[in-house]
Amino acid sequence: MSSERKPTFAIIGAGMSGLLAALKLREAGYEFTVFEKADRVGGTWRENTYPGIACDVPSHLYSYSFELNPDWKFLASPGAEIQEYFEGIAKRYELEGSIRFNDPIVRCDWQGEGWEVEGGSGFVGHFDWVIAATGILHHPKHAEIPGIEDFAGDLFHSAEWDHSVALEGKRIGVIGNGSSGIQITGTLAPIASEFTLFQRTAQWVVPVEQVEYTEEQRAEFRSNPEALQGLHDELDQSFHQGFGNQVLDSSSDIFEGMRTVCNNHLDTFVTDPELREKLRPDYTPACKRLVVSHNFYDSIQVPQAELVTESIERIEAGGVRTADGRLHEFDVLVAATGFHVDAFVRPMAVRGLDGVTLDEIWKERPSAYMSMGIPGFPNFFMINGPNSPVGNFSLIRTAEMQFAYLMMLVDHVKEGGHSHATPSSEAAVRFEDERTEAAKNTVWATGCRSWYLDDRGIPFVWPFPFERFTQEMEKPRFEDYTIG
Ligand code: NAP
């Protein structure tokens, strides 16, 4: 490619990472098209609208570092407020005209010099680079329970909420007590006539206080950007240096501290000894993704609520039959059963060098060099892709650093008068081997079932300290790429 011509980009997805890529490319004067499967921006915050949805990461950390928001109303914002933030970003940077809504990419073919990309609408475009910003918690995992199709009431997944269904005064069942199930319980148990939470594994629940910022506090943030920046930086520092790094060493003292805090929370707030013991986990805190809540223990103790730990045998027209033979009858059944976290860009058909497909390369499990690139797939990079930090570092900081890394690579290729870069297989294998070894020492590998584990039971999350991530993202190791 001539070094005068600016490369062009296809961005897949208009969630947090896709919007970030789009606005940064706009600022840098590049041409790009965003392909978005839905009719609005927002990604996970557009998809997840269940009652009680909020981000358990403080809002002043869950913001782009260059778009801090003095007007966050809560310490941990409800989903609708975060959705509003991302919609505001799309408007402010005038991105909507560059987004093809309702046009999911179905096919990406490498054609020697660039990518041919096809949208579900039949649109076909040609781009030099593809940035896949498709998210991790993206493909709902429907409860695979015998008889589920027989249920006669309303049944939906937490990420596919049917808002036409009235909830107040109804008999409601929730399957799953991850972060979604716990937030739903916090909100729905008090308004249901009967409420049941089906718990397969107890969760460590970290107490938080829901703090609403006053108008005076928000005015102070507006008039004092340094104070706002200071708050962001302080949250960022304590999250990454504290929690983010300590979960990597399963022998760290931090887990005993967490156990004490969570046990105190449980012992103080749950009065019935039998319920208390059912709610007490028997594995190391943070082995599963920690659940944070200000109202779960209150809600599960309202008179109409029940925690059921008996295993589910099948679903029938009337409700859920447990192994003890009991039928739990419901009007509404919610599957808060999580996501297929290993799908990433799939089921999109992606074909790289020599016609190799992503399905073939990833047939055992997904992996990516530096969590971003795949050998055999030139100029195809993911943000928050396989092996990215998730839960241990801020997802937004991670995306910002990954995007900056990619732009250094793009500039390097262009300045050399080249057209493409592909991570070498040797570099990818070296990274994967080192990553897999480090993952075995993390708290996620201490013996619990969680979505952090791959098919071998090895955590797939970035297992190195934050400093290592910062260092790797500071400048690509160009020698790890085939550039041509
Ligand atoms: P999840 O953490 O994967 O939880 C799924 C739940 O469903 C688990 O309790 C699981 O039990 C249960 N389950 C799955 N299949 C089942 C079956 N067939 N029968 C009975 N129980 C079944 O999913 P999630 O709650 O949607 O959360 C996913 C992630 O999204 C979180 O970890 C977090 O990273 C993110 N999230 C974040 C927030 C936030 O505030 N920032 C809020 C919501 C979600 P087991 O534990 O026994 O497997």
Residues 13 and 160 occupy one common structural domain: no
Q: What are phi and psi of 168, to 5 degrees?
A: -60, 130
pLDDT tens per residue, range 200-225: 999 999 999 889 999 999 999 999 99
Residues 179 and 73 occupy one common structural domain: no
449 within ligand 1 shell (Cβ under 6 A): yes
Distance 194 CA to ligand 1 centre (A): 22
Residues 267 and 380 occupy one common structural domain: no
Q: Ligand 1, atom 36: nearest CA belongs to which residue?
A: 179
Ligand 1 binding pocket mutation candidate from 49, 177, 200 (most atoms within 8 A of CB): 200
State the pLDDT confidence band at 4, using cuts at 50, 70 and 90: confident
pLDDT for residue 210: 85
315 within ligand 1 shell (Cβ under 6 A): no
Distance 175 CA to ligand 1 centre (A): 9
Q: What are phi and psi of 109, to 5 degrees?
A: -120, 125
Work out the average pLDDT over 35-57: 97
Pick from 159, 155, 156: which is nearest to 139 by CA? 159
What is the sign, positive or negative, of the torsion defined by CA atoms of 232, 450, 471, 114?
negative
State the pLDDT confidence band at 226, using cuts at 50, 70 and 90: very high
Residues 303 and 447 occupy one common structural domain: no
Residues 48 and 100 occupy one common structural domain: yes
Domain containing residue 179: 148-204+248-335
157 within ligand 1 shell (Cβ under 6 A): no
Q: What CATH code is carried by the domain that includes residue 23?
A: 3.50.50.60
Residues 328 and 344 occupy one common structural domain: no
pLDDT for residue 3: 58
Exposure of 353 by Cβ count < 10 A (0-12 exposed, 13-18 middle, 19+ buried)? middle
Find the length of the chain. 484
Q: Ligand 1, atom 10: nearest CA belongs to which residue?
A: 176
461 within ligand 1 shell (Cβ under 6 A): no
Exposure of 256 by Cβ count < 10 A (0-12 exposed, 13-18 middle, 19+ buried)? exposed
At residue 8, does pLDDT exceed 60?
Answer: yes
Residue 3 forms part of a structural domain: no
Residues 297 and 409 occupy one common structural domain: no
Work out the average pLDDT over 433-445: 97
pLDDT tens per residue, range 355-394: 999 999 999 999 999 999 999 999 999 999 999 999 899 9
pTM, to two decimals: 0.97
Residues 184 and 277 occupy one common structural domain: yes
336 within ligand 1 shell (Cβ under 6 A): yes
Pick from 132, 127, 134: which is nearest to 111 by CA? 127
pLDDT for residue 140: 97
Distance 113 CA to ligand 1 centre (A): 42
| Encoded tokens for 271 | 């009065």
Ligand 1 atom with least separation from CA of 56 = 40
Distance 468 CA to ligand 1 centre (A): 29
